[in-house]
Amino acid sequence: MKLLRVGPPGKEKPAVLDDSGIPRDLSAHVPDIGGAALLPEALEKLRAIDPNSLPALNADDRIGACVAGAGKFICIGLNFADHAKEAGAQIPDEPIVFNKWTSCIVGPNDDVIKPRGSTKLDWEVELGIVIGKPGAYIDESDAEDHIAGYCLVNDVSERHFQLECGGQWAKGKGCDTFGPVGPWLVTPDEIDDVNNLRMWLDVNGKRYQDGSSSTMIFKPNFIVSYLSRFMSLQAGDIISTGTPPGVGMGQKPPVYLNAGDTMKLGIEGLGEQAQAVVSAD
């Protein structure tokens, strides 16, 4: 299934994409795409519904973040071998873990706001994991049972805030609008090999990132197991798993985003996003 949320901010309707790409309204079956609706038994009930029996929604309407009410937005840093090389960093022995604040989550095509004082606004196309079945101390061999699906994430980053303002990376990772998520939550049965998906990102029509999840150092099942050693994972938690090379900071000379710039990005099988950068008020 490809699950999504359609409508204005705060008024999104849960939906499933039919075979012709039309979103179909799931409001009569679930209150939203998040929390209990992502438990394995709930997804099985949704899978049994014939999408053609559901009311069609306007395919031109805004698409919201594909997960509602995420409790945690966890990120893995330097998780692609070729990106670590680009950054001049050693390949980590264990996953580097940081957070994006859930208040940064927006729809896949919503504007990205360049914050006040921002001088080094950057992009990162990433594969997102959405947790379904809660758990702690999850064995890697059981991790797939806890994954509701996968999604596209743009890990928008302000490098000056992240690296030059003291403290942890989170300063430059969780500003408002820094977490476009979606368009779809794609259940694992729709993906042939999550460890070999093409990933790309363009800025103003120029291709900067063109990589693959095959160069991930730590794979999704390991990441889920690893994180569950340090925190319980809950239905609707989002884990963003790192980016391939081609970020703005890695260009020679570096290239950063300004108001008026546009980003377009995608992951094979997970859809596309498009954002315009605007200035903060």
Task: Report whether pLDDT(177) > 90.
Answer: yes
CA 198 to CA 268: how far, in whole Å? 5
Task: Report whether pLDDT(226) > 90.
Answer: yes
Grade residue 232 by pLDDT with cuts at 50, 70 and 90.
Answer: very high
Mean pLDDT over each residue of the chain, to the nearest integer: 95
- Which positions ≥6 away from 119 have C-beta within 8 Å? 160, 256
pLDDT, residue 264, reads: 98
215: amino acid identity, one letter: T
Grade residue 162 by pLDDT with cuts at 50, 70 and 90.
Answer: confident
The phi and psi torsions of 239 (rounded to 5 degrees) equal -120, 120
Query: What is the CATH code of the structural domain delimited by 64-279?
Result: 3.90.850.10
pLDDT, residue 65, reads: 98
pLDDT, residue 276, reads: 98
Taking the CA atoms of residue 87, residue 91, residue 93 and residue 96 in that order, the dihedral angle to the nearest 10 degrees is 30
Across 274-280, average pLDDT: 97
In DSSP notation, 198-212 reads: EEEEEETTEEEEEEE
Per-residue pLDDT reduced to its tens digit, 2-14: 999 999 999 999 9
The phi and psi torsions of 12 (rounded to 5 degrees) equal -70, 145
Across 71-100, average pLDDT: 87
pLDDT, residue 263, reads: 98
- Which positions ≥6 away from 253 have C-beta within 8 Å? none
CA 99 to CA 101: how far, in whole Å? 6
Per-residue pLDDT reduced to its tens digit, 164-173: 788 778 889 9
Neighbours of 47 (CB within 10 A): 11
Q: Please give the C-alpha separations between residue 243 and each of 87, 124, 218, 256, in angstroms, as whole numbers.
A: 11, 6, 12, 16
Grade residue 22 by pLDDT with cuts at 50, 70 and 90.
Answer: very high
pLDDT, residue 139, reads: 98
pLDDT, residue 116, reads: 96
Q: Please give the C-alpha separations between residue 229 and each of 21, 68, 226, 237, in angstroms, as whole numbers.
A: 39, 25, 6, 15
100: amino acid identity, one letter: K
CA 214 to CA 242: how far, in whole Å? 12
Question: What are the sequence ranges of the domains in the chain?
Answer: 64-279
